């Protein structure tokens, strides 16, 4: 997308700041309210597929229903017609809170283990966000360090409900038998084996996240995602204190 494009006469699009499996994220400006925003725009190649269109819209509805200080807010949704070869394509987008800070993945990469105080505080923020989402019937299904930001003021923000599903969506169980969605390092056993997923899978992933914040490494590692997923299913996870004996006995 060309920089400085305006969506629907309201959102000015600037630099690309993120790229996911379904969409690109741009720094933007809400020209009506004069505030910075992040604009998540579905990839044009996927926008031609009705399945992906429906999935993206579902993501937007799920994310927009959440209102919590530890969850990135969704302000608006819409569609924009973009040229794609000979024919235009309608690309859905959502407009989100622009968060300044670092992801936990960036922090872990730079620092390794972060200490018990920060690990517990940041995990508590994640759990508070997940509690709210679960009360609204939404499972994140992709909790991992790259999807959690710590702002410049120290607040925790859970983002990218990109593969979230409503708990009441019975069609989710059929798609899970075809592919495991998520990141293998943080997959709950039921998620790795394609069984029905509920909020407990998010809590398992949050536990893996806490483990990594405390020790600097995830509970299971392997050469392939399949090898890691197998360990989640078959093996008992180690205690953080098994990796770092200097951690308090409670861990």
Catalytic positions: 142
Asked if residues 90 and 80 have their Cβ atoms less than 8 Å apart, the reply is yes
CA–CA separation, 122 and 105 (whole Å)? 13
Residue whose tokens read 């569609």: 79
The Cβ of residue 65 has, within 10 Å, a number of other Cβ atoms equal to 14
Whether 4 and 13 have beta carbons less than 8 Å apart is answered as yes
DSSP string, 90-143: EEEEEEEE---EEEHHHHHHHHSS--HHHHHHHHHHHHHHHHHHHHTTEE----
What is d(CA 139, CA 131) in angstroms, rounded to the nearest whole number? Answer: 10
């Amino acid at each position: 997308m060309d920089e400085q494009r305006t969506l629907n006469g309201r959102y000015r699009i600037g630099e690309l700041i993120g790229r996911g499996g379904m969409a690109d994220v741009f720094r933007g400006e809400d020209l009506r309210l004069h505030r910075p925003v992040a604009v998540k725009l579905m990839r044009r190649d996927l926008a031609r597929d009705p399945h992906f269109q429906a999935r993206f819209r579902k993501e937007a509805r799920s994310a927009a229903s959440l209102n919590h200080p530890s969850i990135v807010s969704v302000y608006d949704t819409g569609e924009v017609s973009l040229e794609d070869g000979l024919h235009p394509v309608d690309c859905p987008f959502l407009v989100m809170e622009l968060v300044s800070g670092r992801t936990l993945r960036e922090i872990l990469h730079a620092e390794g283990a972060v200490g018990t105080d920060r690990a517990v505080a940041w995990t508590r923020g994640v759990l508070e966000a997940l509690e709210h989402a679960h009360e609204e019937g939404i499972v994140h299904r992709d909790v991992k360090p790259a999807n959690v930001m710590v702002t410049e003021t120290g607040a925790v923000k859970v983002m990218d409900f990109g593969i979230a599903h409503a708990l009441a969506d019975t069609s989710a169980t059929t798609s899970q038998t075809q592919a495991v969605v998520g990141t293998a390092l943080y997959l709950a056993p039921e998620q790795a084996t394609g069984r029905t997923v509920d909020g407990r899978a998010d809590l398992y992933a949050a536990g893996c996240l806490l483990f990594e914040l405390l020790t600097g490494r995830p509970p299971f590692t392997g050469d392939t995602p399949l090898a890691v997923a197998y360990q989640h299913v078959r093996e008992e996870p180690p205690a953080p204190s098994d990796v770092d004996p200097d951690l308090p006995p409670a861990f």
